[in-house]
Amino acid sequence: MSVNARTTVGAFALIFLAVVAVAAVGGVVLDTAPPDTEPVADDHWQLDAVEPETVSEGGEIEMESSEPSNTIVVHLGSSTTGAGGGLPGLPIEDGDAPTEADIGTLGGAQRGVTPLTAALIENGHEVRFYGGIGSGERLQSLLADADAFVTTAPGALSGPDADAVNSFVEAGGRTLVASDPGNAGALTEFGSPFGVYGDAGYVYDMEHNDAGYLSVLVQPPESTPLTEGVEQVVLRGAASVGSADDSAALSTAETSRLSTTRESGSYTVAVRSESLAVVGDSSFLAPENARRADNGVFIGNLADFLVSGDAPDVSFGSPTGPGGGTPPGGGMPPGGPTPPEPPEPPENATA
């Protein structure tokens, strides 16, 4: 009996081991591991490969003129948004209840032109802000005492105000219009007496830009007083402008395109027609952009332009035309600024 049990156990163990061994060997022989996957290529993810090109930053905004004190009237359009395109819908501004942790605000409308106004004041000139026809002040009376006028929102000027500025420019008052895209209609209506117009749409450049297709790099085709010392200016969102005498102060590179036609080519974004200078962008005046590339040099030149020359001999004796009271921005896109109705248009005649 003991022999039988030993044999039985032995046979069991032998067969069991044989079966397991066959399974093991078969598994080793037949089993195929999942195929090796290739690693995902990541060379093109390195920062060097994808970092956008940017322009340098730095420099000072300096004026060269030694003119005695001038008065410059600055008009900024809407009081709820800052000038300096590219910064619409600022998260915190005057008038909005700040969150509890805030101790200050961004600074409202005037913030967008502080580099220019700071340069003017630093050189002994006086800056007066005009807040639109609803502000209680009248532009005519401000301009009567002014040497120069700056607006970053020609579309926000009411009809009488636009007429007043027209008279001011005609009388030789230096005027800077920084007109962002979307103001082509207003700019054209305002500038046509001086041979200046605005194109609809905006200019962009996919190849040469400052970290964004809207941030075009513009250059002066030739050196003019406005662009002396300027090699490259960055505009964060520029409109094409033009003039009758084809006098471009700043032009985009050949790689840029106009949004409406998508045609590539060099587009003029700044012109000067005697005492009127027009730039198709206001963002370069904003504090964030004023020291980008040669923007500071350009701003300094504009400040010099505003304070140079004789004081204009302007009178606002002529009554407002039939179009008075309506804004010149008839060609503006929907949603554009709509200034309030002038309270007392007949007063224009008395100024």
Partner 1 sequence: MMSSEKGPAEPPDESTPDTDTRTERHSPTTSDRVPPRSESGSVVDRLTTRHAVGVAVILALAAGLFVAPSVYGAVTGPDGTVAVIEIDGAIDSSTAQHVEDNLRDARMNDSIQAVVLEVDSGGGLPAQSERMYAAVDRTASVMPVYAAVDTLGASGAYLAIAPADRIYVAPSAQAVGSVGVAGAAPAPSGPNAGTSGPDKRGSDPDTQRERRQTLANLFIKNVIEQRGEEIELDREAIAHADAYLGTEAVENGFADRFGFVDGAVADAAAEAGIDDYAVDTRRTENRVPRSIPLLQQEDGTVVVDEPEGELNDDLILAVAPETWDETVGEGVVMTSYTGRLPADHTASETGVNDTKLQHAETASTSGGEAA
Q: Which of 15, 23, 96, 350 binds partner 1 (CB under 8 A)?
A: 96
Stretch that binds partner 1, among 16-24, 32-40, 243-251, 272-280 (CB under 8 A): 32-40
List Cα–Cα distances, 273 to 181, 223, 280, 302, in angstroms.
20, 15, 14, 14
Q: Nearest 5 degrees, angle CA 188-CA 192-CA 195?
A: 120
CB of 314 to partner 1, least distance (A): 27
When asked if residue 50 is in the footprint of partner 1 (CB under 8 A), the reply is: yes
Stretch that binds partner 1, among 13-21, 135-143, 160-168, 204-212 (CB under 8 A): 204-212
CB nearer to partner 1: pick between 126 and 137: 137
- Whole-angstrom distance, CA of residue 58 vs CA of residue 94: 29
- Whole-angstrom distance, CA of residue 243 vs CA of residue 249: 11
When asked if residue 57 is in the footprint of partner 1 (CB under 8 A), the reply is: yes
- Residues 297-326 binding partner 1 (CB under 8 A) are none
CB of 95 to partner 1, least distance (A): 9
Count of residues interacting with partner 1 (CB under 8 A)? 67
Q: Are 77 and 337 in contact (CB under 8 A)?
A: yes
- Whole-angstrom distance, CA of residue 341 vs CA of residue 326: 7
Lookup: tokens for 295: 């923007």
CB of 248 to partner 1, least distance (A): 22
- Whole-angstrom distance, CA of residue 78 vs CA of residue 81: 6
When asked if residue 266 is in the footprint of partner 1 (CB under 8 A), the reply is: no
When asked if residue 48 is in the footprint of partner 1 (CB under 8 A), the reply is: no
When asked if residue 212 is in the footprint of partner 1 (CB under 8 A), the reply is: yes
Beta-carbon count within 10 A of 193 CB: 12
Q: What is the 3-state secondary structure (H, E, C) of 219-266?
A: ECCCCCHHHCCCCCEEECCECCEEECCCCEEEEECCCCEECCCCCECC
Q: Which of 27, 34, 58, 322 binds partner 1 (CB under 8 A)?
A: 34
CB of 285 to partner 1, least distance (A): 14
Q: Which of 3, 40, 66, 322 binds partner 1 (CB under 8 A)?
A: 40
* 3-class secondary-structure state, position 204: strand
When asked if residue 236 is in the footprint of partner 1 (CB under 8 A), the reply is: yes
Lookup: tokens for 148: 């120069």
When asked if residue 182 is in the footprint of partner 1 (CB under 8 A), the reply is: yes
- Residues near partner 1 (CB under 8 A) are 32, 34-41, 44-45, 47, 49-52, 54, 57, 77-81, 85-92, 96, 98-107, 132, 156, 180-182, 202, 206-207, 210-215, 236-237, 288, 292, 333, 335-340
